[in-house]
Structure 1
Amino acid sequence: MKIAVSSQNQTNVTAHLGHCQKFWIYDVDDTTIQTKQLLRITKDQSFHESSPKDSHPLDTVQVLISGGIGRGLARRLQSKGIQPLITAETDLDAAVMAYLDDTLVVMTPEEHHQREHGDAPGHRHGKPEHSPE
């Protein structure tokens, strides 16, 4: 399974996905990280600039973790078979391991928006029952 994590500064989970041009791509099995590689995309390939109809360098991942994803972009990812997850976790490896352990606290786009303008509780979310390998 491949998990992408948005990380514009290459150190932490990026708060906003749309303009992000750097992603860590994790190859994982059910419980561990196998490899981790940095993927750099061009500004034209960022989700904000690219067309939902075009192929995208992240089309091969099954899960995309970010600090913020709008509803439209979440639907775009889901239509490509990618599970979008919004989390307040900023540590890259910790976010992936929490996902693998079914303990990653995630938010809906609405909860994320409320959190930016107040506070809203997240909920736990992990691997789907039948995740593709």
Structure 2
Amino acid sequence: MKIAVSSQNFRTITAHAGKSRRFLLFDATTPCSPQECERIELAAEMVFHNFRGGPHPLDGVAAILTASAGGGFVARMAARGTEVVVCEGSDPRSAVRDYLSGLLKPAVVTCHDHDHGHDGDGHACCA
């Protein structure tokens, strides 16, 4: 099983997964000791906030851990079979371990303020 962590600096968990271009990928074969196995840097058109469908470099990950995520992102990832988990800590490996231990739960889809120029595009709550 693979777990992705949004990390704009490739060191800590960072916010707004839908706009993140960088992700750490962890191999969770050994839940007590997950290992970073890859660093992914997305092209601008592959950032989920801009992405319009088709195959994606993060397809197949079981979960994306992040410091924050909007409801549209959570819904899109759920449709792709990926859980989104919002974490309070900053250490990626600890967050992956906590997720695998059941201490972190998937995000709940909620609507947020859409007064930021995308007119609800891609947000199920705005349909």
TM-score bracket, normalised by the shorter chain, equals 0.7 to 0.9
Give TM-score, length-normalised by structure 1. 0.74
The AA in structure 1 aligned to 2:42 is: I
Q: 1:49 to 1:107 in 2, by over 3 A?
A: closer
CA distance in 2, matches of 1:27, 1:6: 15
Residue 117 of structure 1 corresponds to none
RMSD between superposed Cα atoms in Å: 1.8
Q: What TM-score, normalized to structure 2?
A: 0.77
Q: Work out the CA distance in 2 between the residues paired with 1:44 and 1:5.
A: 19
Shift of 1:88: 1.2
Following the alignment from structure 2 to structure 1, what is the Cα–Cα distance between the partners of residues 106 and 88? Answer: 7
Number of matched residues?
110
Is the partner of 2:90 in helix, strand or coil?
coil
Give the % identical residues.
Answer: 31
1:60 offset after TM fit, Å?
A: 1.7
- Where in structure 1 are there 5+ consecutive unaligned residues? 114-133
> In the superposition, relative to structure 1, how do residues 92 and 76 fare at CA in structure 2: closer, same or farther (>3 Å)?
same
Contact 1:87–1:107 under 8 Å retained in 2: no
Kept after mapping to 2: 8 A contact 1:64/1:85: yes
Unaligned runs of 5+ in 2: 113-127
Q: What is the distance in 2 between the residues matched to 1:55 and 1:106?
A: 23
Q: Residue in 1 aligned with 2:14?
A: 14
Assess if the C-alpha contact under 8 Å between 1:2 and 1:26 holds in 2. Answer: yes
Q: Relative to total residues, which structure has the larger strand share, 1 or 2?
A: 1
In the alignment, residue 101 of structure 1 is paired with which amino acid? Answer: S
Q: Structure 1 segments of 4 or more deviating over 3 A?
A: 105-110
